A and B are shown apart, each in its own frame.
Chain A
C-alpha cells in the first residue's frame, strides 16, 4: 500500500468523506469555542466580577473557588464527551480506510 496507489482527490470527493469532514469540523469548532469561552470567563470574572467571586456558597467556600474548580470538571467533561463522540468518527474513517484503494473518480 503506497500513497501513489490511492486517488486522494476521489476520496476527498467521496460523500462519506464529505459527511465525516463536515460533522467532525462542526463538532470540533463548537467544542473549541465552548471550552475557550468558558476558560476566559475565569480571568475576566476574577477581574471584573469580584463581588460575584466573593459570594460565599457554603461555609467560607466562595463562588470563585467553585468556579475555578469547575474549570477542571468542564475540561475533563469536554475530553470525555469528545472521546465518546470520536468513536463514531473512527467508524466512518475506518470505512474509508478499508475502501481507500477502491475509491476512484466516478
Chain B
C-alpha cells in the first residue's frame, strides 16, 4: 500500500482525492439526510443564547449597562469573553486549515495572535480601565479636545470594525453554504438578525454571555477532537512521527515543492512538512504582519471595550491573563487539529472542499466520528459547524457594539448633543445606531459576495496598530501629547495603512493574473498531452500478451498468459480510471485559468490604475505604524493645547494608580 501510493504521481493523488470530495462541495459537507442534526445543534445553541439574552435584557436600563454591562463582569468571565470575541472563524477554521495544508508555517502564523496580548496586558488593559468609560474615543477625550478627538476616533473605530466585520460576514456566509448548502445571502441575513437580537435587547450583558458560551463550546470541541486525534496517532513524539510517515502529507509536500521533490525520500518529504518555508517566502511580510498584530490587538476597539466591563484594573489584568491562557491553549490544540486533519482527511481532500483550507476542522470532526455516513461523524460535524456559526455571530456582535457605541456615544451624544442626553435618550441612540450599523453589515456582507476578503482582517489590524494604538498609547504615556497629535495620528495612521494596502500586492493586478494563468494553461496543456499519450499506451502490454497468446502453442503454455492478461486488464482498468480522472481535473484547471483571463475583460491595471504593486509588503504595518507614531509626535509638537497640559497630572496619576476608578466602575 505504502509503496503503491509513493509510486503514484503526487499530482495524480491530489487530483483523485479532490475529485472524490467534489460531491461534498456541490451540496454542502453535510448530507441531506443528516441536515436535521445540524439544525438541531444550531437550534440548541441559539435557544441557549436567546434564553440568556432574555434575562440580560431585563438588566439593561442605562447607557452604562448597554455599553459595559454595568461594569459588573468578573475577571474570569471577561477573560472567556475576550477569547470569545477574539477567536474568530479565521482562528478556528482558518489556522487549522493553514496548518493542515502548509504544515509548520501555519502554526508559526498562529503565534503572533497570542503574543499580541502581552502588549494588551502590559500597557493597555489597566490604564484604559483606570481612565476609560465606554469607548476608545473616551480615553482620547480625557485630556484632549473632546469634540475633535471623538470625531476622528469614531471614524477610525468604524473603519476598523467595518473591515473586520466584512471579513466575518463574507467568511460566515461562505462557511454556512459550504457546510450545509444554505444560500449565501440567507446565512448572511441569519447572522445579522441573530446578532441584532443579542445586541439590541441585551446590549453588552448579552454580548458578553454569548461570547462566553461560544468560547466554552469552541474550547470543548477542540479538546474533544484533540483527544480523539491523540488516541489514534499518539501523543507528542509518536504523533509527529505519524505526520512524517503519512503518505498524504508526503504527497502534499511533493506537490508544493514540484521538481525540487524529485530526489527526496518519502521520509524527507514528510519531515519537510514540519519545517518552515512552504508557505511564507518573504520574511519581511511576516515581520510586518507580526507588528500589526502585536500593536493592533491593543488598538482593537471591540477588545478595548471589554476592559470597561470589569470593575477594577486588577480584574482587567486577571481577564487578560485568563484570555491568554485560553487563546494560547487553543492555538496549541490547533496545531494537533491541523496536523490531525492532514493525516485523517488529507490536504488534497481539504483543499478540494475549500481552497483556503477552511474545512479542515469540520471534515476532521466528521472523519473522527466515523465518516460521512455515520451518525456520530455527522453529529460531530454538526457540532463543529454550529460552533463556527456561533463564533461568527459572537464576533460580529462585539464589532457591531463597538461601532454603534462610537456612533451613538461619541458622535451623537458627545459631539452633536454636547454630552446633554438623558439615560433613556442615550440607550435609544445606542439601539438605533446598532440597528443601522447591523443592517449596513448585512448589506456589505451581501454586496461583497464572492470577493476575496481574507486580507481585510489584516487591514483591520493594520489600521488599529497604525492609528488607534499610537494615539491611545501616547495620550496615556506622553506628557506633550495633545489634540493636534491625536487628530494627525488618527488620520495619518488610517490613511497610510489603507493607502499602502491599495498599492500593495494584496490587490489584483490583471497583468500578473494573466501571466500566471497563461503559464498555468501551458502547463496544463503539456500535462494533457502527456496524459493522452499515457492513455493511448495503456493497452500496449495487454495487446502484446494477446499476440503472445495467439502465438502460443498448446493449452499448457496459454494458461499463464491468460492469467497475465487478466492481471494486465485489471491494471489497465485501474490506470485508465486514474488517468481519466486526472485528465478531467487538468482540463478543469485549464478552463479555470482561461476563465480568469476572460474575467479580466482586457483590463491591464488594478483598482488603483496600477500595472504592478508600488509597495512590496502585503501588510503595511512596518511602514504605517512608525508613520502613525510620527504623526502623533509632530502633530503634538506643532499644536498648543492648554487642556491637554493641565489634565496630564490627573490622567497620569489616575492611569497609574486607579484613584477614583474603582468607584467609577463599581458604583451602580
Contacts and interface: CB of A to CB of B under 8 A. Distances in A.
B324 interface: yes
A81 to B, nearest CB: 11
B314 A42 contact: no
B343 to A, nearest CB: 14
B72 to A, nearest CB: 20
B159 interface: no
Given A12-B652, A48-B283, A64 B276 contact: yes
A39 B111 contact: yes
A47 B286 contact: yes
A82 B117 CA distance: 13
B275 A62 contact: yes
B104 interface: yes
A65 B283 contact: no
Contacts of B650: 3, 6, 8
Contacts of A17: 653, 656-657
A12 B653 contact: yes
Contact of A72 (B111, B290, B654): B111
Interface string A27-49: 01001100110011011101110
Nearest to A101: B659
Q: How large is the interface on A (under 10, 10 to 19, 20 to 34, 35 or more residues)?
A: 35 or more
Given A40-B287, A68-B108, A61 B240 contact: yes
Contacts of A62: 271, 274-275
Contacts of A100: 659-660
A47 B104 CA distance: 12
A44 B283 contact: yes
A104 interface: no
Contacts of A9: 649
B513 interface: no
Q: How large is the interface on B (under 10, 10 to 19, 20 to 34, 35 or more residues)?
A: 35 or more
Contacts of B649: 8-9, 11-12
Nearest to A92: B657
Contact of A50 (B111, B122, B277): B277
A97 interface: yes
Contacts of B243: 60
A35 B274 contact: no
B491 interface: no
A60 B276 contact: no
A6 B653 CA distance: 11
A97 B658 contact: yes
A54 interface: yes
A74 B237 CA distance: 22
Given A40-B287, A79-B121, A83-B317, A68 B111 contact: yes
Given A39-B294, A64-B104, A72 B332 contact: yes
A46 B108 contact: yes
Interface in B276-313: 276-277, 280, 283, 286-287, 290, 294
B123 interface: yes
Contacts of B123: 28, 32
A75 B317 contact: no
A50 B112 CA distance: 19
Given A3-B650, A35-B115, A46-B277, A93 B237 contact: no
A43 to B, nearest CB: 4
B332 A69 contact: yes
Contacts of B108: 42-43, 46, 68
B158 to A, nearest CB: 29
A60 B241 contact: yes
Contact of A96 (B114, B283, B317, B657): B657
Given A12-B653, A46-B280, A96-B659, A79 B240 contact: no
Residue with the highest number of chain A CB atoms closer than 10 Å, among B112, B122, B277, B280: B122
A54 B275 contact: yes
B184 interface: no
A64 B274 CA distance: 8
Contact of B118 (A61, A78, A86): A78
A93 B657 contact: yes
Given A43-B290, A93-B657, A96-B657, A71 B111 contact: yes
Nearest to A28: B122
A106 B653 CA distance: 18
A19 to B, nearest CB: 11
B551 to A, nearest CB: 54
A68 B275 CA distance: 11
A58 B657 contact: no
Contacts of A53: 275-276
A96 B130 CA distance: 14
A72 to B, nearest CB: 5
Interface string A73-92: 00110111011001000100
22 contacts: A8-B649, A8-B653, A8-B654, A9-B649, A17-B657, A35-B115, A43-B280, A46-B283, A46-B286, A50-B275, A50-B276, A60-B243, A61-B274, A64-B274, A68-B108, A71-B111, A72-B114, A72-B328, A75-B118, A79-B320, A83-B317, A93-B658
Interface of B: 104-105, 107-108, 111-112, 114-115, 117-119, 121-123, 236-237, 240-241, 243-244, 270-271, 274-277, 280, 283, 286-287, 290, 294, 314, 317-318, 320-321, 324-325, 328, 331-332, 649-650, 652-654, 656-660, 662-663
Interface of A: 1, 3, 6, 8-9, 11-12, 17, 20-21, 24, 28, 31-32, 35-36, 39-40, 42-44, 46-48, 50, 53-54, 58-62, 64-65, 68-69, 71-72, 75-76, 78-80, 82-83, 86, 90, 93, 96-97, 100
Given A62-B274, A65-B107, A72-B332, 6 more contacts: A6-B659, A21-B652, A48-B283, A59-B241, A68-B108, A82-B121
The 9 closest A-B pairs by CB, nearest first: A47-B283, A46-B276, A43-B286, A8-B649, A8-B650, A93-B657, A39-B115, A12-B649, A35-B118
